[in-house]
Structure formats: C-alpha cells, structure tokens
Structure 1
Amino acid sequence: DKLAKDPSWDNLSKREKLQIGRQRAKLEKILGSISDLTRLPAALFIVDVMKEKIAVREAQRLGIPIFAIVDTNSNPEGIDFVIPANDDASQSIKLIVGAMVEAVAEGLGERKAERKDEAETPKRKSRRKLRKEKPDETKPVEDEKVDDDENVVDNEDSGDEEE
C-alpha cells in the first residue's frame, strides 16, 4: 500500500510492478489474517506438525495451547492436545477438521448465549460496593464474632471455649 503511493513506484518497470504485485498477493494469502489479529489466539489447531514446525515453536514460546493431528512420523512432544491420526489422508483430515469446526461453533454459540443472559439479567451490586455507598449501621459488638458472610457467630455455641 505504501509502495504504491511512493513516487518511486512510477519509476518501476511494468514487469517489476507485476512481480511485486504477485509477491504481495502471495503474502496476503498466507499471512493476511494475521494482520487483522488484535490479540493472541486462545488456541492453535495444526493439521501437519512436521510441515508447521515454525507455528508449533511460536505457539510454545507464547504459551498458546496446541491441538494437533499427529501422525506416526511426527513427534508429539510439545503438543498439548494430541489427536493421533493420519495427517496425509484427506478423509481423516476432513473428518477431524469437521468435528473441530462443530466444536468451535458450539462454543461460540454458548458464549453468545451467556452474554445475552448477562445482558438481560440486571447485575447485582457486590457487598463491597453496597458498603461503600451506604455505611453499615449495625456493627458487631466486640465480644461477637463475625464469619465471612457477615453473620454473627454465637461464642457459646461455637465450641471454641477455652477451659
């Protein structure tokens, strides 16, 4: 994009412009979705561990969980969730990727439903916020014990009597 706006672009020959355009299209096809990322992915799904060694190393370095189809010619070390299967057969890849797509779609649907439920139900204020807004008028007497839920615990019934 910047190169096309640069005045030196006009000085390039037609052939050079074509080569740069092809190279740009190839990079866009391979890496295009990466430029749109705003945060790290939650997980990585890899079909061929041997072919995608760089992606595996990068995910390990960043601590991203890896789901991968691992064939007998691959090393399963470093893969968090191993799927033992033939990564060369198109039918096995189609079956496993289809199951993964369904699982992701189901998870996204559940997340969307949870967000919708949260939006519909009014949020309750936490006890801390309530305490800050309105000071508590009833404070425990020095002899009384209060548990985590702010309930008064009777000293005589607690069984912690000293003899």
Structure 2
Amino acid sequence: MNIIPTYLKGVILIEPPVFSDNRGYFTEVYKKSVYDSIGIERNFVQDNLSCSSKDVLRGLHYQVKQKQAKLVQVIKGEIFDVAVDLRPYSKTFGKWESFILSDKNNRRVFIPEDFAHGFCVLSDTAYLLYKCSEHYAPGDEGGIIWCDGTLNINWPVKNPIVSEKDRKLPAFSEVFGDIK
C-alpha cells in the first residue's frame, strides 16, 4: 500500500495494491487490520454510495456533533475531491487540499473528523463509495458554501450543478470566524 503525504495533517491519500492481468483487476476495498496499521483506526459504521453526473458539485459538508471521518473512493468515473480543515487549533485551519480520485488511479482519501468534504464530477458519471465513522444525523448537518471567497477553492468546473440546499450554505467566516 502506497501512502502519499498530504498538506493537511490527518488527511491520508492511499494507493492500494492493484493486481491486474488480461482478465481485469483485483484490489481489496477495505481490510480493517491494514487501515489500522497506517493510522486509520476507526470503526466505520455506515457505507454510502453516491452517483452524480458531470459538473455536479456536492459540498462542503460536515457533521457538527456526531463528527464523521470518511474513507472515500471512486468506483467508476473521476472526481475532484476536497477536504477543508475545520480545526481552529490547527496550523492549517481554513486551508484545503484537493485530490483527483478515479476508477483508473484507484486512490482513496481518508478525511478525519473536523474536516468539511466536497467534490465535483469530472467524468460523464461518477460513483463514489465512502465509509463513515458515525451514522448520518440529518439534524446535525453543517456546511460551507462551495464558492466561499475566504477558502477560494479552485474548482475545475465553470458552471457547477449545485443543489438548492448547498447554494444556501453559509460562508466559512459566518460559521468559524476569520482565519488567523
């Protein structure tokens, strides 16, 4: 397993081994002992599957009290995936990092608790599979507007398709104050 360092402490980019031949390929999706050995010691309690079309942008989402860590991968298609550090005590508070995840590169990204998560779809369709360390709680949702000027995320989509709910999310400074 190849672990790729990231700028945001706690966020881990992973390239699992892929065994391929003329018939196709095989890779382990998840094996607790392996992930525990690289520092991802979580009890994942929920798996989610998201299907979105090209230019759909989802996020930036997080849970307020029932904080979720996520292990994200794309099983078909390609996405631009973003993690935003929401930890006020962190040196990277209010900073973000992006990753290209696809069925071609088989990369996974681990996003710890206290991070917002979002993505946009680069391929015609993308199927995103992700594990969560806490159950989704509808009344515990938090979010930041995807086009926040403080975060200034360089989304690779000119006219994203965004849900009405995500269009109404607050700015980073409205929730977390100014970045120092």
With normalisation by structure 2, the TM-score equals 0.22
Name the structure with the higher strand share: 2
Name the structure with the higher helix share: 1
Does 1 or 2 have the higher relative contact order (CA < 8 Å, sep 6+)?
A: 2
